[in-house]
Amino acid sequence: MGRRIISDAIKNQVIGLYRGDKTINEIQKIIKSISKSCIARTIKKYEETGTVRDKPRSGRPRKTCLRDDNAIYRLARKFPKYSQKRIAQEINPALANHISKQTIGRRLLDRNLGSYTAAHKPLLKREDKQKRIKFCKKLLQMSDNQIKKIIFSDESNFQVINRDNKVLVRRHAHEKYLDRNIVPRLQGGGGSIGIWACITNEGSGMHLLYSGRMDQYKYIETLENALLPTRDIFFPNDDRWMFQHDNAPCHKAHSVDNWLSQMDINVLQWPARSPDLNPIENVWTIIDRKLAESPVTSLADLKTKLSEYFDTISIDYCKNLYSSIKRRCRMCIKNKGGHIPY
């Protein structure tokens, strides 16, 4: 609630009684329509300025007081997906003055609470978060040298036309739908190619391109033709290396588990729905950005560029990704197993 507006006539009456040696309690008993705090403020203002009149204001008075602003802020923090219109609908019945959604927006900006596009992330249940925390604590106990012996892997799918990354354009307001200012979308993306790849601390490993969906049989063939050669290149005489892959259905098939066991491959147990902990995900972002900068014209062109862009991932970049792993784990633990900005 905002402060009540007191007329100059009542303020002058207060000052008259005060100058007549009346106490605040005595004045309040005489003028029952105002509170003791209001009387005290009026007297203080008179003693400081010699008048009870308000100073001229430069603009329209605010329709909300500090209490109103706090209520708006608390509601927005409690329900971050509420629109300004929804917040106004919820808050107005409790306010003395009706306020608009524009006022809501200004009050929230005063508290540095902006409006942003929500991030799309996998749904994490309570048990998922607990497993992520447990995994991160285990990884933090590993030495840097042990982490450097992990081969991280993943699959991704890229389309000829459609791109996932955001593209910024410089244009006038009325030029939104000009051909040069739009990112074309095509149902089916004009065709797509899958890529399985892996990285090491010493650089990018082998990769394979494939069409259609990855299944358990295709996955075993991929591991034979890409993972094993990567192992032979980077860990030829070291049996302490580890292999990481996520929990995709084709990865968890019995046939795949049997093959990994027969090959005596030590697999890093990976928490579900955790792409933000996998450093190779950053590689896909770079590739998608490069594809947006150099438009793809056909499936053959897409295959060529996918291989080229992956093979040009630098050793320094891979080292930077590996150096971020423990940082990711600490952030995940600090966020109680929730998503992290990677």
The reply to whether 310 and 215 lie within a common domain is yes
Q: Is residue 164 part of a domain?
A: yes
| CA-to-CA separations, 281 to 22, 36, 159, in angstroms, rounded | 76, 64, 17
Which of 83, 110, 137 is the endpoint of a domain? 110
In a domain, 2, yes or no: no
Final residue of a structural domain among 55, 77, 110: 110
Query: Residue 81, SS3?
Result: coil
Structural domain count of the chain: 2
141 and 98 both lie in a single domain: no
Question: Collapsing DSSP states into helix, strand and coil, what is residue 200?
Answer: strand
Assess whether 78 and 160 both reside in one domain: no
What is the span of the domain harbouring residue 182? 126-334
Q: Are residues 263 and 233 in the same domain?
A: yes
Domain-located, residue 120: no
Q: Is 4 helix (H, G, I), strand (E, B) or coil?
A: coil
Residues 6+ apart with CB under 8 A from 39: 14, 24, 27, 28, 31
Give the pLDDT of the chain (342 residues) as one tens digit per residue.
Answer: 445 567 888 888 888 888 888 898 888 888 888 888 888 888 888 888 888 877 766 667 778 888 889 999 999 999 988 999 999 999 998 887 889 999 999 999 998 888 877 777 888 999 999 999 999 999 999 999 999 999 999 999 998 876 565 666 667 777 777 777 766 665 655 688 999 999 999 999 999 999 999 999 999 999 999 999 999 999 998 889 999 999 999 999 999 999 999 999 999 999 999 999 999 999 999 999 898 888 888 899 999 999 999 999 999 999 999 999 999 999 999 999 999 988
> Do 304 and 183 share a structural domain?
yes
H-assigned helices in 238-314: 254-262, 281-293, 299-311
What 3-state class would DSSP assign to 244?
A: strand
